[in-house]
Structure 1
Amino acid sequence: MAGGSIYVQPNDKYTGSSPQWWYEKFWREDAENRRRARYVKAGVGFVIGVALALRFDLTGASPFIGLLLAGLVAAGDWYLDWRAFHKTAVWRGARRGETITARKLRRSLSRRGYSVLDGRAIRGQASIDHLVIGPAGVWIIDNESWSPDTEIACYVGRLFFGEKYGSKTAKPLVEAAEAFAELLTRESGVPVTITPMLAVHCGILPRSGMVVAEGLTLLKPRLAAKVIRSVEGRVLSAEQIEVLTRIAARELQRV
């Protein structure tokens, strides 16, 4: 990605006293507390299930209904805990964000006439995780993650990660989009404008799952293909898409 990639991991990034290491340590140490809380919730579910059975004159089935509701409560609580931990997988280095996003893009866009090229760079300059070329235009998409408690927001047109300005993240991607567009336009003769996106794998986004600020769209990975599909109009023909894809494959270095 422009300005570096979280997937080229320093030797000690996920060890020692890194935030990721502490997160996993505290998560493991808190397992017993989570189990105890789950037992309490399941107990409450059992009582409620029995009460409901008695309320609707199902006395004979009340133990079964209580156990059923207790099991559902326990399973739901376990799933929510697992989901919260799973969401941090890319940030913790357990999964690769570009692999996740590439799969979602291809699954949703390939059958609609879009080409998806992964891991491309202008020699000696910017690099990006995904280049998407299709009927509605061209996009570059990078992947990034922040700690689970980092709020990502836009205030008065400025991008923020928690209390920090996000310009150092937005500017390289916007410049990479411009550089890629210039190269494709020059080599193909087709006027190209590229929209930059950043797939956020960990961090707190607004309820909509998307933030637009400083020329960059930050969104949940599952929304990237949806946003692209929602663009109305056709700016590239099938022939132009083929030409741009061929030029991108030839001129852009694999990374």
Structure 2
Amino acid sequence: MPGGSIYVQPNEKYTGSSPQWWYEKFWREDAPNRRRMRYVKAGVGFVIGVALALRFGLTTASPFCGLLLGGIVAGVDWYLDWRSFHATAVWRGARRGEAITGRMLRKSLGRLGYHVLDGRAIRGQASIDHLVIGPGGVWIIDNESWSPDTEVACYGGRLFFGEKYGSKTAKALVETAEKFAELLSRETRVPVTIAPMLAVHCGLLPKGGIVVAEGVTLLKPRLAAKVIRAAEDVVLSDEQIELIARTAARELQRT
């Protein structure tokens, strides 16, 4: 983020009485309750499995069907619990959002003629996590994470993070895009327009996983490459892509 991302703050952020620390504490203390509920769900699955087997005349196989369905129910319940906790990893400081998004971008876009530059900055000014250059244009992508219950939404054209306005965050990212575009246009003499994106690693996005507000597209990290590939117009030639990528690598400082 232009003002600094949550996962590059000092480690004290995730210790003591921080929200992240309390979240992990309550999660681990609730593990016995989750296991008990998993056993109950597996038991219900066993009964349903036996009943279905008997219903279709599989009397001798009914215990096996019950165990199979009970095991599937327990496995699915365990996976959903694990996925819920894993989804908060960036917010908790256990993983780095820029590493996750960068890997996804390179995997999805690298073979399609796109250049992905990680961790770039204009000296003494703005910085971003990813710069993507390809046939459909140029994008900057930053990473951010909020608490699991924070709703990211657009109301009346304004961006909200829970009950707080997100205008400051959006404005900073839009201004960063403009600064990067100005530098690249000046150095390459190619008119460059940059679209800003914010990859949201933890927080509640609406169905579809995308919010567009105040000039910024906020989305789940896995959707960033999909949105970039969806750009229908080819606005940059291969030569222009190479020129912009080389200029960016030369002029922009690594962070």
By how many angstroms is 1:3 displaced?
A: 1.2
How many residues align? The count is 255
Counterpart position of 1:157: 157
> What is the distance in 1 between the residues matched to 2:11 and 2:111?
40
Distance 2:123 2:138 in 1: 20
- Give the SS at the match of 1:218: strand
Offset, 1:11: 3.5
1:47-97 CA distance string (max 9 Å, x none): 000000000000000000000000000000000000000000000000000
Correspondence 1:192-207 to 2 at 5 A: 192-207=192-207
Query: Where do residues 37-116 of structure 1 align in structure 2 (5 Å cutoff)?
Result: 37-116=37-116
Q: Deviations over 1:168-209 (max 9, x none)?
A: 111110000000000000000000000000000000000110
Q: 1:216 corresponds to which letter in structure 2?
A: V
CA distance in 1, matches of 2:42, 2:4: 46
3-state secondary structure, aligned to 1:4: coil
Give the secondary structure class of the aligned counterpart of 1:12. Answer: helix
Task: Note if contact 2:49-2:62 (Cα within 8 Å) is conserved in structure 1.
Answer: yes
Matched, 1:229 2:225: no
Q: Which amino acid aligns with 1:116?
A: V
Q: Describe how 1:140-151 pairs up with structure 2 within 5 A.
A: 140-151=140-151
**Structure 2 match to 1:208:** 208
Partner of 1:7: 7
Normalised to the residue count of structure 1, the TM-score between the two structures is 0.99
* Unaligned 5+ runs, structure 1: none
CA shift for structure 1 position 140: 0.1
8 Å CA contact 2:121–2:252 kept in 1: the answer is yes
Is the 2:7–2:91 Cα contact (8 Å) retained in structure 1?
no
State the 4+ residue runs in structure 1 displaced beyond 2 angstroms: none
Find the residue that maps to 1:141 and give its secondary structure.
strand
Q: Which amino acid aligns with 2:103?
A: R
Give the secondary structure class of the aligned counterpart of 2:233.
coil
SS in 2 for 1:111: helix
- Helix, strand or coil at the partner of 1:59: coil
Q: Residue 121 of structure 1: CA displacement?
A: 0.3
* Structure 2 gaps, min length 5: none
**Offset of 1:9 from its aligned partner?**
2.0
Deviations 1:73-129 (A, max 9, x none): 000000000000000000000000000000000001011100000000000000000
Report whether the alignment pairs 1:251 with 2:251: yes
Where 2:84 maps in the other structure, the secondary structure is helix
How do 1:173-188 and structure 2 match up within 5 A?
173-188=173-188
Secondary structure, counterpart of 2:141 in structure 1:
strand
Residue identity matched to 1:10: P
